Structures are given as structure tokens and as C-alpha cells.
Structure 1
Amino acid sequence: MGFLSPRASLGSGGCKIPDHLAQYSTAPFVGNLSFYHFNMIVSGACTVVVLIVMFSLMARHATHMSNPNEQLKIMRICNLIPSYQVLSYVSIVVPNSYIYLKGFGEVMQGVALYSFVMLLCDFMAPTDEAKVKLFSSLEIRRQWQPKKKRNGLAFLKLTWYCVVQYPVITWIAAVSQVVTQALHLYCLPSTSPKFAHVWLEVATSLSTSIAVNAILQFYMRTKEHIKEHRPLLKLVAFKLAVGLVILEQIIFLVLTATGVLNKMTTLTYIDTMMGLPTMVICIQMVPISFFILYAYPKKPYEIPYKPHVLRPQAYHPLGDGDEETLMNNTQKTYQGGRWGLHAWAVYLNPIDIFQEVLSAYKMISRARAMQKAQVKEEIQEEMAQYETGYDNHQGA
């Protein structure tokens, strides 16, 4: 707990706030409660609701895991909400932990973003072979040059790189934030280039923009292939959690810079810097959690309890209805294990997601290499035919 302990050197290096953050005001905000204690009560109640809703949804997918490829990704997407909630609440209770935990919320967001785009790929084609075949047949308009087109595999590769860089950059930024804060070089409220805060914010903001733009472009270019899976609903539910947090960061940055919040006598400097913003996050995650519950249901993955119906591997939507249903296949049992413990073990295993990333990289690279070799071979054949025809013409 050395990082969270008070430091003798407060505000070292000219930073506006001390390294050890604490609540100094006990002025009543509501009744006899200070804002700090009021915030703990309200945010704590919201945290309990969010954790119950989200973990119950994740548990349902774990116990009804008929399609691990898709449902494990859904569990990682759902994990974003309780991660935001817990990190925010801990920051409220222990203000000194805020700077050390803030960056890891971005890491969870990066994992969820990656899982979301790969889930869309699974909706389009359930296997690597099917993905290669489908994307090889597509011609995608370029974002900045609409008149020109890019092969589907090249588009998939570009999207993959743009999205996978986000969790990597945010992880580096989160660790750097912890290290620079411990060395008195971070300085949360400063935009001076001599502190790490401004540089890490620029890096993560740029990384976020690249990843979000890639996902939006991927959705816009492929939505016709996955419209039966209600991708817009899933995208909106997911982007609400991410977009609102980013928007609120901008709003509170403006309010803090203009001194609007500093005029409230019942709020301390720490309340305005992190207490109020994190309370807003905790409150808004309650309705968002219910939206996620609606957008990512476990019902499409349920096995109908009929003796003659075989275990499905993938699901497809009904033709005219809003609900999605499973198609027959050869599997006969859920794959989550007893009480879903096996699914939870895979979900919690960090090696599994690294293996997924590596597998996707190998699949895309191999497919692109084969495609380039095929194009080169076709060009050589055309050249050979042209030379043969030219020689025949000369001989005649």
C-alpha cells in the first residue's frame, strides 16, 4: 500500500495538488452528511445494483454457453460496466487511489472494444475459414476515398490493427500513470508539458479515436451482413457506456477550468476533481446495465428442451421476428461446465484472450499472404498468356 500512503513531499515538482489526496471539508451537503459521505452512500447503492444485474447476465451466459466463441466475447463486453463501477467506487471511498486506478478503466474499455469488433466478425462468419472466404469476396469503399475500394481482407486487417492497438496503448499508459505518479511526475490537474499527464492523455485520446472510428467504419461497411443480429442495438448499448464517460470527462474538464465547480462551498477540491465525476459514472451505469441486459440476452443461446432437437453451435435469427433463435447442429450439451464454472475459468484466464488475439493475427496474416500469392500467380498467368499470344501473332 506504499503508493496509497501519505507523502512527506506534497505537491513536489510544482504540481498544484499534493500527491496524497484527502477530504479536508466536513461542511454538510445533505442533512448532516458531507458530499464525501453522501457520495459513498449513493454510489455504493448504484454499485450494488449494477453488480447484481451484470453478473447475473454473465452468469446466465456462463451456464447456457452453447456458443463459446460469441458468448465469451459478450461476457468481456459486459465486464466493462462492473469494471467502471468498481474502479469508480473505490476511487470515491479512497480518493488517494483515483490516479492509480483511473487508467485501468481505459484498459477494460480497450478489451471490450476488441471483443465487440470480433463479435461482429463471428456474427458474419463463425469460423476462420468462413471469415477468410467471406471477406475475400468483399470490396469495401475506402473511408477517405469513397470512389476507391479495398479488398475485404485488407479492410479486416486494417480494422484489426486499429482496434487491437487500443488495449495495448491504454495498458502502457495505465502503468506509466502509476509509475509517474509515484515519482511525482504525473500531476493530474496540470497540462504543462513537463508533467506526464498531458502526454498520456494525448496518447490515450488518439488511441481511442482510432479504435472507435475503426469500429464505426466496420459497422457501417458490414451492417448489411449482420442486420439480423441487431448490431445497431448492441453497438448503441456498448457505445453509451464508453461515449458518456468520454463526454463527461470533457464537460468536467471545462467546468473545472472555468472555475464553476470551485464556487460550491460544500465541495472540496477533491470532490470537484474526482468525487463528482465518479459519482455521475456510478449513477449512469445503472440504466446502462439494464440496457446491456436487453441488448445481449442469453435467450438466443438456449437449447430447446425437446428430445429430437440436437445441440446447436451457432444461432440465427427468425425471419420476421425480433428474437433470435438457435439452429440445429451436432452438440448436445452446454459447454460452460457445472454451474458455468468452466466458462468463468476461461473468461477469467488472461492467457485465453492473448491466444484469441494471436489466433486472429495468424488467420488474417495467412489469408492476406495467400491472397497476395494468388493475385501474383494470376498476373503471371496473364503475362504468360499475353506473351504466348504475342509470339503466335509474330510467327503468323
Structure 2
Amino acid sequence: MNLTCNSTLEDMRIGSEEKLVGEFTFHELALIIAGASTIVAYVMSFYLMWQHALNYTRPREQRHIIRILFMVPVYATSAFLCIWYYWHAVYFQVLSDCYEAFAIASFFALMCHYIAPNLHEQKEFFRTMEPIKPWVWPINWFAKCCGGDRGPWRTPQSGLTWFNIVWIGIYHYCFIRVAMTITAVVTQYYERYCESSNSPVFAHIWVISIVCIAVSIAMYCLIQFYVQLKEPLAEHRPFLKVLAIKLVIFLSFWQTVAISVGTSTLHIVNPSSILAYPDIKVGIPSLLLCIEMAIFAILHLWAFSYKPYIPGTKPTYYPSLDPSLPPRLNENGPNRGGFAGLRAFGDALNLWDVIKAFGRGMRWLFVGVKHRRNDPSYQTKTDTSYPMKPYGSGSEGKSTDHLPIASEFRRSTFAMPKSSTNNMADESIGLIANAHPDPDSAPRYPSPYADVNHRHYYETAGPSHHTFTPYDERGDIGTAISYPPYDAGGSYNYQPTNPTGRREQQQRRGTASSQSPITPTQARVGNALWGDRPPQRGMQ
């Protein structure tokens, strides 16, 4: 295996090629066209950024717009320097690609701020979001082949979980891209990167592969986010914004990879007297990128217009999932751009919010995902494990709905006044409401050890009577009712001292007199039911 890098690109210099147009070689012509395109990209991009800075009325949104607009000058500058200093092109390429990750994250954050002004309200929006659209191709194919709704590629049940997955899929690319940029710079310095080779012994193929996977995941999550929310965010023209971001990243990355594979592996284009090796490897993709950046700078004038942020313009609205609620106003505030908009540029260049967002995503990935089912968004979902509805109820029944007797009593109007309608139902209710006590049965006595929650006040009044003073329904002490003891024949003589008291009070349980003849067997049964009590008179 060859462990030596072919450093032709670093060692070769352009100068002996034939003229292509007039007095210019391809390299000189590429510098002229790339320079002109870079100037156009600069003028259009900085004009738009400056207008946002001078009308900095919604800082939460506009800081992300300025970051996105910075992508065009960064890419154009990098591509022009790659043509000029082609022997150091790898440094400029990886530095511009590093900014790509922050542009994607800024675009995602901008879409989130179109939904709600802060993270807490964004989470509330996604917590109640329904329906959650299935993953777009190819994840939906993977779900069909790998377990469906129970497999690893299933659509999340909770909108908040869906939001966190998309969050991680986008913000992880910031870390991966920065790490791969540092790896490329360090390995290039120690001559172990070798951009001209795709051999696995060099770092180039590994860096390209990891970045390819990471950027594909990030762009997939961004597309899924757009598919889910394109209707609520229609007034912000999300398709044009997604197109402006996606095409820049697609062309800057994939056309470079395609040219690298075509020249290094497939040898589709070979050096000639007109095209030198650096022209094929660096010049052509960099020239195309400069031209594309000029075109995208003009497209951004419509995709990320500053006109909605001018004070006094028509305000926008935050989307609402509840059609019964009026939409929340997203109006412009005071201008916070500072002198000549410099404060707005300083705010946009502060990437601390991106670092915090990445940390939040990692915390949920390693900690929060274990407790995701404790979120209320999972509790409000309808359980489809048992398709039968509870007896006599709707979709949200009580725990006793499966018991018919419980449902019947819950639907009854027990102790309610008799109505003139529904005679069949009122007839059975009236039998209970107008019931009279059985004269042949003695009232049952309460236990002297009754629960204090019954709020009985019990006291003994002399050897021949027991006085029971209950509380009424309002919590006040009611009229005392005196119950005499058993007579000599063993029957109970029920003569309340207050015959006008409530029927409920008359039916309260009293206590047996100490003079009642209680056998030892009855005493043992009573002690087993009520607990041990001191012996009463007449018992040994």
C-alpha cells in the first residue's frame, strides 16, 4: 500500500498553458470571471444585510437572516481565493464549508422563531401538533421494512419528540463540521490529508465521508421540517427560503465531490496543454461556485427581504394549531440595530445561542430521551390498544365505565326532585326519595370508634340514655336525639326527643345502653368487630 501522498497540487504552478481566449489562459480567465462574480455577490449580500441592520425591529429573526446572508460572501471569497492560491485551496475550502453548518442551523432557528418567539412556546406548539406527517423518502421505506410503527424508523407519537429529533439532526452538523474542519487543517499541515487521493490511509476520504453523512442528515431534517410546517408558515414563503439554502449547500458540496471523484478515480478529464491539473482540481469547481454565489445573492433579495421589518409595515402572525383561537400578532418592535446597524452585526456574529442549542440537543439525546414518555404530549394521545369504547361513555371514560351498575348510578338522578317528564325513570327514583323507615326494625348504632371523618359527636347522658348529636350537611351541630335503652322484653323502644328532625338524623345509628342484656358470646363478637372495650355494667 502506498503511504506517500501525491502532492502534485501543492508543488505544481500554472504558467506554461496555452492561451484560451485572446491573451488569457484558462486560469487568468477564471480569475477575471470569478472576481466579477464575487463583487456582484458582495454588493447584493451586504446591501441586503445592511438594510436588515438598519431596520432591526425583530432581533430574534433578523440575527439569523444576517447569518444566512453572510454565507454568500464567505463562499464567494473562499472560491476566489482557491483559484488564486490554488496550492493552499484545501484551507479555504474547509473554512467555508465550516460556515455552512451555521447557515443551516440559523435557517432552522429562523423557522422556529416564525412559529413562536421563544423556545418554551415553540415546545408548547410542537407538543400539541397534530397530525405528525410521516418521514419523507427514504425513511418511510425503511419504516415499512423494519417494524413499521414499532420499528426504529417509526414516526414519533409526540410532536415534541419529533421536534427534538429534528433539532438534533440539524444542530449536530455544527459540531461535526467544525471537528472535521480542524481535522482537515491539522492533517493537511502534517501531510496526511492528501486531497488528491481517495485512499483510506489518508484523512481526505474519511473527512469527506463523515461530512457527507452529517450534511445529508441535516438537510433531510430541514426538508422534513419544511414538509410538516409549509402550510402554517405559508406567509413567510418557506419554499423559496429552503430552495435558496438547499441549492447553495448542494452545489458547493456535491459538485466538488463529483469533480474530485471524476478526476481522481474515474479520470473523466485529464490535464492537457490548455487545462493544468490545478485548473481541473480546483479552478473549475471554484469558478462555478463564484458564479452561483452571484446568482444566489440576487435570489436572496426576494427570499429574505427586509421590507416586512420596516417600522409601520403590515405585521405577521404566529401560527396557531387551535382554529378557535385568534392568531397571535408578530409585530415589529423598536429599532435595535444601533449606530449604522453595527449592533445588529455584532448580535449576528455572536454564536453563543448556537452552542447552547447544540448542548440542549445532546442533553435530550443522552438524558431526556429516556423520560420522553413522561411528557404530557404522550398522556393526551388516544390509546389504540383496545379499540372498544367503554360502556356508556365516549372516548374518555372513567375507570368504572366497564361496570354497568356504576354507569347506571352515575346517570341516575338519585335524591333529585321528581320531574314531570320521563315518568318511567322518575317512578323508580321516587320510590327511593319517598321511602319510609321500617317500624319493625331498630336503628343501627354507630361504633364509638367510628372514623373521625364522619364527624360524629357522641356522648353518654346518664345510665339510661345515650345522646347522639350529629353534624348537619353544612358542618353545624344538629339537634340532639336521645335514644332510650332496650326495654325489659329485649325490644327497642325508639322514641326520639326531636320528632321534627331530619329523616337522615333519625336514621343515624345510636349506641346500646349499658343496661341491655348482652351475653358473653355477643360481647366477644362485638369486641372482634369494634375492638376491645371496657366491660359494661351487667357483664362479668
TM-score band w.r.t. shorter chain: 0.7 to 0.9
Q: Work out the CA distance in 1 between the residues paired with 2:332 and 2:297.
A: 34
The more displaced of 257-266 and 239-248 is 257-266
Residue 242 (1) aligns with residue 249 (2): yes
Superposed displacement of residue 59, structure 1: 0.8
Hey, what does 1:5 align to over in structure 2? none
**Which one of the candidate residues 210, 217, 235 is aligned to 2:224?**
217
With the length of structure 1 as denominator, give the TM-score of the two structures: 0.81
Hey, what does 2:176 align to over in structure 1? 169
Q: Work out the CA distance in 1 between the residues paired with 2:378 and 2:38.
A: 57
Hey, what does 1:125 align to over in structure 2? 116
Superposed displacement of residue 127, structure 1: 2.5
Hey, what does 1:39 align to over in structure 2? 30
Superposed displacement of residue 329, structure 1: 5.1
Contact 1:102 1:174 (C-alpha < 8 Å) held by counterparts: no
Hey, what does 2:323 align to over in structure 1? none
Hey, what does 2:72 align to over in structure 1? 81
**Which one of the candidate residues 127, 133, 141 is aligned to 1:141?**
133
Contact 1:128 1:363 (C-alpha < 8 Å) held by counterparts: no
Residue 25 (1) aligns with residue 15 (2): yes
The more displaced of 49-58 and 26-35 is 26-35
Residue by residue over 1:11-57, the C-alpha shift from the partner in whole angstroms, topping out at 9 and shown as x without a partner, is x9421224734423332222222222222221111111101110111
Contact 2:35 2:80 (C-alpha < 8 Å) held by counterparts: yes
- Cα 1:377–1:85 change in 2 (3 A) is closer
Structure 1 counterpart of 2:349, one-letter code: L
Superposed displacement of residue 350, structure 1: 3.3
Contact 1:111 1:167 (C-alpha < 8 Å) held by counterparts: yes
Q: Work out the CA distance in 2 between the residues paired with 1:289 and 1:241.
A: 10
Contact 1:25 1:267 (C-alpha < 8 Å) held by counterparts: no
Q: Equivalent residue of 1:192, what SS? A: coil
- Cα 1:298–1:363 change in 2 (3 A) is farther
Superposed displacement of residue 79, structure 1: 1.3
Q: Equivalent residue of 1:141, what SS? A: coil
Superposed displacement of residue 356, structure 1: 5.4
Contact 2:262 2:269 (C-alpha < 8 Å) held by counterparts: yes
Q: Equivalent residue of 1:38, what SS? A: helix
With the length of structure 2 as denominator, give the TM-score of the two structures: 0.61
Q: Work out the CA distance in 2 between the residues paired with 1:219 and 1:249.
A: 26
Q: Work out the CA distance in 2 between the residues paired with 1:271 and 1:294.
A: 34
Hey, what does 2:279 align to over in structure 1? 271
The more displaced of 253-262 and 98-107 is 253-262
Structure 2 counterpart of 1:207, one-letter code: A
- Cα 1:280–1:388 change in 2 (3 A) is closer
Gaps of 5+ in 1: 1-11, 306-311, 318-325, 380-384
Q: Work out the CA distance in 2 between the residues paired with 1:336 and 1:369.
A: 41
Superposed displacement of residue 264, structure 1: 3.6
Q: Equivalent residue of 2:10, what SS? A: coil
Hey, what does 2:202 align to over in structure 1? 195
Residue 298 (1) aligns with residue 300 (2): no
Residue 158 (1) aligns with residue 176 (2): no
Q: Work out the CA distance in 2 between the residues paired with 1:288 and 1:107.
A: 19
**Which one of the candidate residues 252, 266, 270 is aligned to 1:258?**
266
Superposed displacement of residue 92, structure 1: 1.2
Superposed displacement of residue 245, structure 1: 2.1
Superposed displacement of residue 142, structure 1: 3.8
Q: Work out the CA distance in 2 between the residues paired with 1:341 and 1:356.
A: 25
**Which one of the candidate residues 366, 369, 372 is aligned to 2:374?**
372
Hey, what does 2:295 align to over in structure 1? 287
Q: Work out the CA distance in 2 between the residues paired with 1:59 and 1:368.
A: 45
Q: Work out the CA distance in 2 between the residues paired with 1:262 and 1:352.
A: 46
Residue 113 (1) aligns with residue 104 (2): yes
Q: Equivalent residue of 1:261, what SS? A: coil
- Cα 1:161–1:299 change in 2 (3 A) is same
Residue 207 (1) aligns with residue 208 (2): no
Q: Equivalent residue of 2:82, what SS? A: helix
- Cα 1:360–1:168 change in 2 (3 A) is closer
Residues 270-349 of structure 1 aligned to structure 2 (within 5 Å) = 270-304=278-312, 315-316=316-317, 331=333, 333-349=334-350
- Cα 1:376–1:218 change in 2 (3 A) is closer
Hey, what does 2:52 align to over in structure 1? 61
- Cα 1:25–1:359 change in 2 (3 A) is same
Aligned-residue RMSD, C-alpha: 3.3
Superposed displacement of residue 347, structure 1: 1.4
Hey, what does 2:5 align to over in structure 1? 15
Structure 2 counterpart of 1:141, one-letter code: K
Q: Work out the CA distance in 2 between the residues paired with 1:338 and 1:368.
A: 48
Q: Work out the CA distance in 2 between the residues paired with 1:244 and 1:74.
A: 21
Q: Work out the CA distance in 1 between the residues paired with 2:342 and 2:77.
A: 22
Instruction: Choose 1 or 2 for highest CA Rg.
Output: 2
Higher helix share: 1
Q: Work out the CA distance in 1 between the residues paired with 2:127 and 2:230.
A: 17
Gaps of 5+ in 2: 150-154, 319-327, 382-397, 407-540
Superposed displacement of residue 316, structure 1: 3.8
Residue by residue over 1:259-291, the C-alpha shift from the partner in whole angstroms, topping out at 9 and shown as x without a partner, is 343154211111111011101101111111101
Percent of paired sites with the same residue:
26
**Which one of the candidate residues 67, 92, 95 is aligned to 2:83?**
92
Q: Equivalent residue of 2:270, what SS? A: helix
Hey, what does 2:480 align to over in structure 1? none
Contact 1:23 1:36 (C-alpha < 8 Å) held by counterparts: no
Superposed displacement of residue 389, structure 1: 9.1
